[in-house]
Amino acid sequence: MSTGHLSIDAGAIAENWRALDAKTNCETAAVVKADGYGLGAGTVAKALAKAGARKFYVAVAEEGAAVRQALGPNVEIGVFSGHMRGDTDMIGDLGLTPMLNSIDQVTRHLESLPGHPFGIQLDTGMNRLGMEWDEWAAIAQIALAQRPTVVMSHLACADEPDHPMNPYQLDVFHQMTDGITTPRSLAATGGILLGKDYHFDQTRPGIGLYGGEPFRQSRTVARLDLPVIQIRDLDEGEVVGYGNAWQAERPSKIATVSAGYADGLIRAMSDRAMFYYDDTPCRLVGRVSMDLITVDVTDLPETPQALTLLGPQQSVDDLARAAGTIGYEILTSLGSRYSRRTIG
């Protein structure tokens, strides 16, 4: 079998949720959008429910189906994109809770599914999703009378603790919501780490559950091992791969491993990322191609059967830095070709 092996540590996901939950005195939801940050929405939702999570969030209504199927009727599944045209049957049938982002969405929801749960999303300066001041002022009374489950907003710079945007958005959120009795939510992973002023009644961590920064104490969740298909010896001066992008400066041993950009290992990793054989780093050399990657294993004392790209030796953020991106993108790009298994 030549597909890469992606193993997902469900016990580590549960521990990460409990560790983030222990940082606050309020309810801790769990964000499982984008197929559970690429790790499998059903798998991660079950691990999180076992840890104690009862509220989940997805980005779009379609993503709610896998979570509802995995967890049954007794959990709340919020939808960040709200109630879009065409979503009504899905929201009704799956029992989803849309976060309404505009007066249009509030109107659509109250008219098409009267009495059905919803939340409200406010924009406190990120200018991405949610109602702004004047919209909220116009509709707050009507919306709040229908008892939304939550009023939420999202921080733009929470991964930078000293950024002035954080206290600014906190202040705007207070001004927009102080005095209401609806539960409030502002913090994702980064916001939890900003301290109790940001916690309100519910937090919504995502990346920290899956072993990503800014929750640096998180446990590793994803491990990716790629089988070595072939090893060859090169003389000094020989070249490797498309475009002859790498040339051996010494007699070298090159391992060809099975995975490529079609598996989410982006071309920006070319000539930059590290693989690991136990604790020994081995440099990715030449260009990442669609299904194959070449690695310099000259300095290894033995012939490797497989090389590790993600694991305790290298986090999603370490790999992201080598490729000029962020851990979120590494995780959510992990492809469908790996053989996946859940441990813990």
The correct pick among 16, 28, 149, 189 for binding ligand PLP (CB under 6 A) is 189
Has 37 been annotated as catalytic?
Answer: no
Q: How many angstroms separate the CA atoms of 227 and 241, rounded?
A: 18
Minimum CB separation of residue 317 from ligand PLP in Å reads 13
Report CA Rg, the chain.
23
Q: Is 205 in the site for ligand PLP (CB under 6 A)?
A: yes
Q: How many angstroms separate the CA atoms of 151 and 206, rounded?
A: 18
CB 205 within 8 A of CB 19: no
Measured from the CB atom, the residue of 188 and 222 that comes closer to ligand PLP is 188
- Of 9, 35, 32, 33, the closest CA to residue 310 belongs to 9
Q: How many angstroms separate the CA atoms of 58 and 80, rounded?
A: 6
Q: How many angstroms separate the CA atoms of 344 and 323, rounded?
A: 29
Tokens (6 digits) for 267:
């071309």
Measured from the CB atom, the residue of 63 and 87 that comes closer to ligand PLP is 63
The correct pick among 17, 56, 80, 261 for binding ligand PLP (CB under 6 A) is 80
- Of 219, 234, 135, 142, the closest CA to residue 176 belongs to 135
Measured from the CB atom, the residue of 188 and 330 that comes closer to ligand PLP is 188
CB 211 within 8 A of CB 278: no
Within 147-166, the residues that bind ligand PLP by CB under 6 A are: 154
Q: How many angstroms separate the CA atoms of 192 and 236, rounded?
A: 52
Measured from the CB atom, the residue of 153 and 313 that comes closer to ligand PLP is 153
Neighbours of 54 (CB within 10 A): 14
- Of 155, 198, 153, the closest CA to residue 177 belongs to 153
Minimum CB separation of residue 252 from ligand PLP in Å reads 40
The correct pick among 14, 41, 207, 259 for binding ligand PLP (CB under 6 A) is 207
Q: If binding means CB under 6 A, how many residues of this protein chain bind ligand PLP? A: 12
Longest CA–CA span in the chain (Å) reads: 76
Q: Binding string, 11-40, against ligand PLP, x = CB under 6 A?
A: --------------------x-x-------
Among 173-181, 203-211, 244-252, 309-317, which window interacts with ligand PLP (CB under 6 A)?
203-211
Within 299-328, the residues that bind ligand PLP by CB under 6 A are: none
Measured from the CB atom, the residue of 57 and 275 that comes closer to ligand PLP is 57
Has 57 been annotated as catalytic?
Answer: no
Measured from each CB, the residue nearest to ligand PLP is 206
Measured from the CB atom, the residue of 68 and 154 that comes closer to ligand PLP is 154
- Of 96, 145, 150, 94, the closest CA to residue 119 belongs to 150
Which residues participate in catalysis according to the annotation? 33, 242
Q: Which residues bind ligand PLP (CB under 6 A)?
A: 31, 33, 80, 154, 188-190, 204-208
